[in-house]
Structure 1
Amino acid sequence: MIVVTIPLIALSVVCDLVFCHVLQNYPQRSIYNRITQEDEFRNFDGLIRNNKDARMDLLQKELTLFIPTNAAFENYTKPLYSDMAFYHMAKACKTINELKTIPSLSSTKYNLPKLWITKTTDKLFINNAEVLPFNSNYVGRTRHAPEGHQQILHIIDGVLDPLIRIPESPQTAYDFMTSTWKWDLDVEESVTSFLHKVNENGMAHLFQVNGGNTFFIPVDRSIDTHKFRNLNKKTIFGHIVPNFVLFTRPTMRGFNYETMANDDKTYMVLYLEEIGSELHVKSVTIQGTTDNPTGHYSAKILQANIPVHNGVIHLISQPLGIKNKTRPFPYLPIIEKLSRDPALDTFYSMGDISGFNKIFTSHDVTFTYFIPNDYSWRQMKRSGLKYFENNVDLLKRHLVISDAPYTMERMLAITKSQNNTSFELKTTGGIIKIAVFQIGTSYYVKYKRAYIEVLRPNYECTDGIIHVLAGPMADLF
């Protein structure tokens, strides 16, 4: 008796081929007919009903379709739009076992992000949605065999959201950083400080390169002067996991992934961890240097699973790999600093007499205060210069309340991201337009036609920062 053993992988492929061959020889309902006629697909049918191009793709092209369950649509809380249908249709025809052998698929609309495939021990995911094998692998044809094109339908438990309307070209992680406003995010955050450091260190190509990587990008409001200065090459390397596209559901918790900060001097790894109802990314610098010290670091994931052409992005609450600055005594609240500094007495007295200074009793907010020094007021008086508005309106224009302070470095980065033109800054007196430039070691604030030197930038206080200016942001006459 001869016993023939067949490797499991080979047997799986043979079964797939036999499965497809058998189905091809028996007329089946087309996938288009199933979607438009069966209650199981009523929500997806709603997506394509008014989308002529999507219907034509279903009727004519070879496709792999990933159809969310009705429950998945009901749990999806954002508005639906018909072009989302294209992000559930992939070129080529792939069974579940074939999907397990490839890293990604392209949508029928190529400029949409890739559909990223993750295989775990016993599950298969498309982006962050699980493929439900029981009702998947349905093979149909656009016409009866041998005519027409083959199609395969898989059922998934989540809606695939590209988070961006169909762009003019494939969007990489770098494209995301330069134009976050194009994406339909759940959080209103900007990343200009991190982008500025990426460009400054000549690292843009790392966020543009093809392939599949994971990018952890810190938002602006967490990057103070200390962290901005310490965002060096190695630190930025530590925010990229190469060759792995880590969507949050299929990624194992507590499993270390090597970052690009991996050489003879520096070795950094990342892992995901759930803390209560929040998901955090933890960074460990196992081997470091003076500029990149060893230690454990943590950041909350603010917006997860942003698919791009070259991987996935997670927006995080703060940079990784940078120790928090220890503040030496004494650090004072802004109002105490003003009351004790004779060089800032004019602005303090204006606020004290008008009652404006009471605003600094607010808690759980961060202030950025632009304060002209007393010497500039004396110079204005000698020159006979005046300003139109009353003192309270002038004070309001110089004060910003925000989640994080507007450091000079942050405003310089925003200016550069706007092609060195003015940007809008929301002050307590309304929106103003300013720009910040650096000449040598000095900063200048451009307000309308005036370039005002910053005599002392980023003076840190317990509730924000002060920028001491060589003149007020006002229309003088």
Structure 2
Amino acid sequence: MSNLARTTDQLGLMSSSSLTSELDGNPPLWVTHKTGDIHDDIYINNARLLITHSNFRAKNLKGYDQVLHKIDEVLVPVMSPKSVSNPIYNPTAWDFIEQFESLNINPYRVRSFRQRVQQTKKEDIFNAEGGNTFFIPVDEGFKNSRPESIDAKVIDGHVIPKHVLFTAPTTKDISYDTLANVDNMKVYISFSEETHGKSSAIYVKSHNRLADSAHTKGVVMAEIVKANIPVKNGVVHLIHKPLMVVDNTVKQFLEFKEKEDGPLSKFCQEIADAGDVGKEFMRTIERSHDLTLFAPSNAAWDDGNLKSLLRDPVKMREILNMHLVVDKRLYLENIIKDHNRHVYQAPTLNKKKNLYFNVAFAGNNKTLTVEGGGVNATVIQSDLAATNGIIHIIDRVLGVPYSTVLDKLRTDPLLNQTYILGKRSGFNQQLNDTTRKFTYFVPRDKAWKDASIDLPSAIKKLFMEDFTYHANQILERHLVISDIPYTMERIKQLTNDTNLSYPHKEVELPTQRDSLSLFVKENRDHSFVIYWKGEEIPVFRPNVECTNGVIHVIDRPFLKDGDIRVSKASNLQFAPHLIMLLIAKFLLL
């Protein structure tokens, strides 16, 4: 109850962000406006006004206006029992921390954090006037933390100034400045939600973008164990561990998330179910000092293609190893920086298998995708920090192909030009056939761009709609259909069987048009080079597995100057169209 009668329209026009309640001490009722696609929502603390059941007007016995609004959640005040000698009615965030025990918020305690706030003399930031958001770690979260790691900057990183953020109206994955966002430190906080079956959990993430000797770069994720506690100067959320403090190894992070509602609980369960293979994988993680783990989310394991493979120890080892990069911390920022120079790739624990990264930009938003073993996954949470590495949560399990050759062409952003060329000519239609096995040498987009510099006339004609016949001819040269796909290792083995080296003998692969003669060489870094008609063509991404074959992404098309010639006869096919245009022009005159 507030002593001001306000309709939803009037609430929407309020210059202040709060109303005064009628409770003892007059604690504020915080008003939040959330813009929606259909209509805007209004929240009082964490409760949403049900617009169609609100704005009921009346007058009381004294003739004063009254307005009744229906809300979807009970408003619970913060106050101590009246039996307490000095009861609290409208505490600030610091009053809340200092007198926490008298509030009976079981089963939690905040003594450890309170002590660090007092020792660092940071009480004033929790007493600051206005509307702020405070995150208070409970005592249970201090088990692995050294007290001195909770320094003044870390405490500043637990406060979002000038924003009162209740969980329901706050848009997830939007970053907010903290008090720790200063010249030599950039710390942001965002909310996220993880749904597991019928239950869900709200997490808060601190993202430190600048490291120093005392503060590790990366994201620290904490679960909100008790949310939306209104106080005089904002809102308090109790969290299960301190933000900004990196005190868990990757293994410990996974073990915490192993609980039923954790975002990586299914991944942990699959590792456990893998028996000796899973134990070996966890030992590798435990021994590594600098690693990057791409951990599939819970939803990623619902893919029906996985069921039979997960029970195969050999395949499971390959799948797990595909998600781990050792001796390197691949931060999102570094991948983006390298991506601006070249397409970034990194070797995995799975021998001779790399991960390939792509960054898509949409305004200020950046989306990182990672490809491994024929699977394209999107990073849905990046840069989770651990003492011995970082974790990225992805939306698919790598190493288990689920796409046909056609699907892969259609969805891979690096293969767009080859897909367009094949779609226009009708060549792509066959690539969805799961009764056949394809080996497709696919020039990536950059390969076509580079070729347009060396062979401008040929490439220009190839991509013109009037030359689809020639496009088919060239694409047929790149496609091999056989009983078993030709991996790079298999082609190399066939070459080795001749005991001869290039240029004396080449392997002949049967294409739809004629045989494709080439020679494959493996470099010391396990990359491959194709030799074709005197050309050295690097294989940018070998052995991209699909459900009906493999794709080899190459850095140059199998194309020579003179491959595309237009005879006078072929030009005559356009004569009827020219005649019709001339007749139409004459009739208009």
TM-score normalised by length of structure 1: 0.47
TM-score normalised by length of structure 2: 0.38
> Which has the higher Rg, Structure 1 or Structure 2?
2
